[in-house]
Chain A
Amino acid sequence: MAAIIKVENISKEFRIKEKEPGLKGSLKSLFTSKYKSIDAVDNISFNVNKGEVVGFIGPNGAGKSTTIKMMTGILFPSSGKINVINYDPQKERKKLAFKVGTVFGQKPQLWYHLPAIDTFNLFAKIYEIPEKQYQQRLKELIKTFEVEEVINQPVRKLSLGQRMRCEMIASLLHNPEVLFLDEPTIGMDIVAKKRIRELIKNLNENDGVTVILTSHDLEDVEQVCKRLIIINNGKIVYDGSTKGIREKYLNFKIIQVILNEKTESLNLGLKNVKAVFKGKFRHVIEIDTSKHPIQEVVKKIVSKYNVEDINILDPPIEEIISRIYQNKTDHKDQKWD
């Protein structure tokens, strides 16, 4: 299948001014400025095929958003080449903008004090969509995203989930071929996240939209993307199937238990359960889910101890990255599937 996005050896270097602390440092920096270069993105390459849903994950500051910003023409790469739908994002920004949509979870496009419908109307003018075509598209999107009730309310009064659904409509009005979603579920509750994930999946399956999704929520990408690119310190540490990651690295969960009585350690009588933290009341354990189903462990905890609260968490992305590095060291010649 033909690649719709080609990224070749791109890097992005930021120059950061360094200053010693305090007033003395400020006065000194007036006369001698020291700069430090930081490689936010360091020589990465990948292709994305038409119709793919690719998840970009990595810890904060890994380079996910910088990569997306270079693909959409917001930032100029320090070196390397990018081609999105046969356009150079920096040189042919306007042409590309007609073909792609962007949603930045932390940078809303909707007018905060006005109803979402006002922003939709404005975007129709920005993309110069003929009135009849616009009305038809808007009707379809409103129905799909189930926002009939809220588009006439000021955006400030919407819930995060409702607002994000409206943000997505705004980015889809012009029928983009590629949709860039940067942290679309940030700050949302589980129900709202689930709805957004379903909508992204539908967009891809029904309309064939190619989706690039960044998140630091593993569950987001696990549910939505078949392919995963993990970035750390500006470098790609994994580019392969989500299934591969799930089988190799997502086979453990973290359980955090708060007990009603002082207990030195959780003794469940199970192998492959590792204590991560032992407090008086709070205990954190890591379990290998391929050996013990999560229900079995939870049942044991509840039957054995007087539990006040229990939380089941995915391993943090940093932990997975460190395991990938470990695996790479252990199997130097291994190739990703």
Chain B
Amino acid sequence: MKQTSSIKGHWELFKEYVKLNLATALEYRFSFVVQTITMVLNDITWLIFWWIFFTKFGSLNGWQIEHILVLYALLNLSYGLAGMFFGNKNHISSMISEGRLDFYINFPKNILFHVLISRSNWFGVGDALFGLILAAITLSLKQWPLFLLLTLSSTIIFVSFAVLAHSLAFYFGNSSETSRSLNMGIVTMSSYPSQMFGGVAKFLMLTVFPAGFISGIPVQLLYQFNWFWLISTILFSLMFLATSIYFFYKGLRKYESGSMITSRI
């Protein structure tokens, strides 16, 4: 029997979870389809709002409707991917307070990675598809490699931010609502042109509440490429990931488990 866990082993596990989660979603096909359609309709509503805005005002600090379309493409694709493949990110705090991390600690795998991949929000498929369609409409072929790289970095920031927000439960007990509000906050902030913000808000958006690195800076990079900001964005996403991992494992030492009767759904 093996005694170590390889990277290949983690990759195989990731693939197995994708299959298993898809099988679970298919058990509830109707709910899956309804959720997906609802998400797409929600996204379209926002685009209609922005279309009316730009028709009336022309531009916003240099931003045109096409920039908004790219922002939505990037935001939807990265948020959708984060939900599809790391769907447990928004459940970490309740898992901590209800003692549901026991299951993961008992296995010879990286705990945080295992937690994140073990659930999928398949309605993220709707977001991701919508993002891809928007990107196909607005981007030229040569913009695609950069777009995909920036999508990856935004996905990493989304997941890391959720891990940080939900790990608060290790330190403050049941923090599910706070963590959820913080996550909603970063999605909302990311869905506005970053040029709208200045001063302290801008500083926060490039540090602890990094909505600027999720959407604003990537959209600018796609139209005005700049090596400094590209490297900064990539480095920031990796550093943010490392911080979230540190914060999670530091908190894990305080984990108190629990005796709540649970089931794996």
Partners in one complex: yes
Contacts of B221 in A (CB 8 A): none
Q: Is B148's beta carbon under 8 Å from chain A? A: no
Would B17 and A112 count as touching, CB distance under 8 A?
no
Would B1 and A98 count as touching, CB distance under 8 A?
yes
Given contacts A74-B102, A106-B262, contact A111 B24 (CB under 8 A): yes
Give the complex CA separation of A100 and B180 in angstroms.
Answer: 36
Would A113 and B265 count as touching, CB distance under 8 A?
yes
Minimum C-beta distance from B17 to chain A (A): 7
Contacts of B9 in A (CB 8 A): 125, 128
Contacts of B255 in A (CB 8 A): 74-76
Would B262 and A121 count as touching, CB distance under 8 A?
no
Near A by CB (< 8 A), chain B positions 214-265 give 253, 255-257, 259-265
Give the complex CA separation of A125 and B107 in angstroms.
Answer: 11
Q: Is B6's beta carbon under 8 Å from chain A? A: yes
Give the complex CA separation of A108 and B261 in angstroms.
Answer: 9
Minimum C-beta distance from B167 to chain A (A): 16
Closest residue on chain B to residue A175 by CB atoms: B1
Give the complex CA separation of A17 and B256 in angstroms.
Answer: 13
Contact partner of A121 (CB less than 8 A), chosen from B16, B105, B109, B264, is: B16
Q: Is A73's beta carbon under 8 Å from chain B? A: yes
Q: Is B13's beta carbon under 8 Å from chain A? A: yes
Q: Is B20's beta carbon under 8 Å from chain A? A: yes
Would B103 and A75 count as touching, CB distance under 8 A?
no
Contacts of A94 in B (CB 8 A): 4-5, 108-109
Would B6 and A128 count as touching, CB distance under 8 A?
yes
Would A76 and B253 count as touching, CB distance under 8 A?
yes
Classify chain B's interface size: 35 or more
Would A126 and B264 count as touching, CB distance under 8 A?
no
Residue interface mask B94-123, A partner, CB < 8 A = 1? 000001111101111100000000000000
Contacts of A174 in B (CB 8 A): 1
Given contacts A74-B102, A113-B27, A126-B109, contact A95 B264 (CB under 8 A): no
Q: Is A65's beta carbon under 8 Å from chain B? A: yes
Would B12 and A97 count as touching, CB distance under 8 A?
no
Q: Is A109's beta carbon under 8 Å from chain B? A: yes
Minimum C-beta distance from A166 to chain B (A): 13
Give the complex CA separation of A125 and B27 in angstroms.
Answer: 22
Would A97 and B107 count as touching, CB distance under 8 A?
yes
Contacts of A98 in B (CB 8 A): 1-3, 108
Given contacts A107-B103, A122-B20, contact A127 B257 (CB under 8 A): no
Q: Is A93's beta carbon under 8 Å from chain B? A: yes
Given contacts A98-B108, A129-B1, contact A114 B262 (CB under 8 A): no
Would B13 and A126 count as touching, CB distance under 8 A?
yes
Contacts of B4 in A (CB 8 A): 94-95
Q: Is A141's beta carbon under 8 Å from chain B? A: no
Give the complex CA separation of A186 and B197 in angstroms.
Answer: 57
A residues apposed to B, CB below 8 Å:
14, 17, 65-66, 69, 72-76, 93-95, 97-98, 102, 104, 106-114, 118, 121-122, 125-129, 154, 174-175
Q: Which 6 A/B pairs are nearest by Cβ-Cβ distance?
A: A97-B108, A94-B108, A125-B16, A128-B9, A112-B263, A106-B261
Q: Can you name 12 A-B residue pairings with CB atoms under 8 Å?
A: A65-B257, A69-B257, A94-B4, A97-B108, A102-B106, A107-B102, A111-B24, A111-B264, A112-B264, A114-B20, A127-B2, A128-B2
Q: A93-B108, A128-B9 are in contact. List 8 more A-B contacts (CB 8 A).
A: A69-B102, A94-B5, A102-B106, A111-B265, A112-B263, A114-B24, A118-B23, A154-B27
